[in-house]
Amino acid sequence: MSPLNRMKTICRLIANRDRGDNHAERLENFYARQAESYDDTRSRMLHGRQGLIDLIPVVKNSVWIELGAGTGSNLELLGDRIDEIQHLHLVDLSPSMIQIAQKRIKSRNWRNVTTHLEDATKFSPPTSADVILFSYSLTMIPNWFAAIDNARRILRPGGVIAVVDYYVSRYRPDNGWVRHDWACRTFAPNAFAKNGVHPNPDHIYYLHEYFQPSYFAEHVSKLLGPFFSAPYYQFIGNKSG
C-alpha cells in the first residue's frame, strides 16, 4: 500500500463514528471502506499475534475455529503447520472481511479452510473444536462474555483457547498483574471506542475464571507512531474436563 493510501486509512480510523442500527450493520459500515487495506495497516497495530500462534500446539487432524477472523490473515502465521490441521473455520460478521478471507483461501489453495458469515456468540460448528482463537476480536464483540461462553461450549474438554487483544487494567488489579495509570485507563477506551473497540479489564478475569491458564503475558504496543501506545495481553488456556 502506498503511504498516501495508508494515511487515508489511518484518517478513517481516527474520524470514524459508529453507524448502523445493530452491531452487524455498524461492523460492515466500518470495514467495507477499508477491507482491501486492512491487513497492511493492522500489521502495524495488532501486535503479539505471531507470538501467540507460535505457542499453540498444532495437533495433526485437529479442528480450529477463529471467532472474529476478519480477513483470515492469521492463517498465514501458521506457515506450513496449517497442513497438519484437519479443518479451520473462519467466523466473522462482516461480509467485506469474509470476501477478503475467501480470496486468500482461494489464492493459497487451502482446501481445509471454510468461512462462515455468522455471529461469534451463536456459531455452532459441525464438530467440537480443539483450538479456538480470538485475535483482537473480543474487544469488538458487544456481548464478549457470550462469545467466550460459546467458545467454551463448542470447545472439547482439554481443548485450547488462545486470545490476544487490547485491554486496560482495573484500578487495583489482582494476581500481581500490571496496573495501568489513570491516563491509560481513561483515554485509551475513549479513543478506541470511536472504532467500536472496547478494551475491558474484565476480559482477563473471565478467561482465568473459566479456563485453566497455561500462558498469560501483558505487553504495550506502539500505535500510529511513537506517541500513542496501548496495552495488550496474550492468553492461552484449556477447557477443563
pLDDT digits (tens, 9 = 90+) for 206-218: 999 999 999 999 9
Q: Which residue has better confidence, 155 or 12?
A: 155
Reply yes or no on whether the pLDDT at 18 is more than 90.
no
| Average pLDDT score, the chain | 86
pLDDT of res. 66: 98
pLDDT digits (tens, 9 = 90+) for 97-107: 899 999 999 99
CATH class of 3-238: alpha beta
| 126 secondary structure, DSSP code | S
pLDDT digits (tens, 9 = 90+) for 71-95: 999 999 999 999 999 999 999 999 9
Q: Which strands sit side by side in the sheet containing 129-135, from one edge to the other? A: 113-117, 87-92, 63-67, 129-135, 155-166, 228-238, 212-223
Q: Using the structure block, give the residue that is written with the C-alpha cell 497438519.
A: 84
Can you give the residue ranges of every domain in the chain?
A: 3-238
CA nearest to 192, candidates 45, 29, 39, 7: 45
pLDDT of res. 24: 67
pLDDT of res. 13: 47
Reply yes or no on whether the pLDDT at 36 is more than 70.
no
For residue 192, the number of C-alpha atoms closer than 13 Å in the C-beta half-sphere is 25
Share of the chain above pLDDT 90, in %: 63
pLDDT digits (tens, 9 = 90+) for 128-153: 999 999 999 999 999 999 999 999 99
What Rg do the C-alpha atoms of the chain give, in angstroms?
17
